[in-house]
Amino acid sequence: MMETVVISLGGSVIVPDSIDYNLLKQFKKVVSADKRKFVIVAGGGKVARNYISALKNEGASNSMQDLIGIEITRLNAKLVAGVLNLPFKIPETCQQAKQQWKKQRIVVSGGFRPGITTDGVGAEIAKAIGAKTFINYTNVDGVYTKDPKLKGAKFIPEISYSQFNKMLAGVKEGPGMHFILDKHAAKIVEQNKIKVIILSGMDNLKAYLEGRKFKGTVIN
């Protein structure tokens, strides 16, 4: 069976402030040139966080905050699907994602349900379709020993699932907030031995997909 690569494309990458149309066009080129199957999960980024914080200020529940975040991920997913000339109908559950994946070479999804993130969605889909590789394309180039803005932070090119989980242990999560890969996603990839690659930059993604040298953190 043809291999599938799952890519979580961060909202911070799709819409840093306004839509990064140039990046989307480059992304289209990279995915079009590749022969494998792809599932792309679009994130919500700053736009989602802005919507979430407005509702949070008004005392909305966590699930309402999540639901408005999900709407933004779906809007971004439709944008990515449109750029890739794919149907506008995006999956809203793992089952729907799997159905589309059976018929299409490329599937684009947004969020699924409150309480998770688009990284969690990517991990759930990877598990459901038996994908072995999960790329988290975000705005940081990988995992560091501590906050990369702090002095003495060192880049980690490769880390085991268990070491990564130790780093996650003290991280607080909530609507619009999570670490580079959240706990739900981290659990699924570990249990199913799905290799995670955290990277940034289109040239880097291209290099990874073509089996060339790239900068990023591999979790396995």
Residues that bind ligand UTP (CB under 6 A): 10-12, 43-45, 48, 52, 65-66, 69-70, 73, 111-118, 121, 138, 175-176, 178
Q: Which is nearer to ligand UTP, 3 or 115 (CB)?
A: 115
Shortest Å distance, C-beta 1 to ligand UTP: 27
Q: Residue 64: count other Cβ atoms within 10 Å of its Cβ.
A: 16
54 or 162: whose CB is closer to ligand UTP? 54
Name the nearest CA neighbour of 91 among 73, 106, 108, 113: 108
Tokens of 8: 């979580």
Detail the DSSP E strand segments found in 65-161.
Answer: 106-109, 133-137, 143-144, 155-156, 158-159
Closer residue to ligand UTP, CB minimum distance, 105 or 184: 184
Both structure tokens of 21: 């149309």
| Distance of closest approach, residue 58 Cβ to ligand UTP, in angstroms | 16
CB of 173 vs ligand UTP, minimal distance in Å: 8
Which two three-digit tokens encode residue 97?
């994602």
Amino acid at 204: N
Nearer to ligand UTP (CB atom), residue 105 or residue 201: 201
Q: Closest approach of Cβ 65 to ligand UTP, in Å?
A: 6
For strands 143-144 and 133-137, give the pairing: unpaired
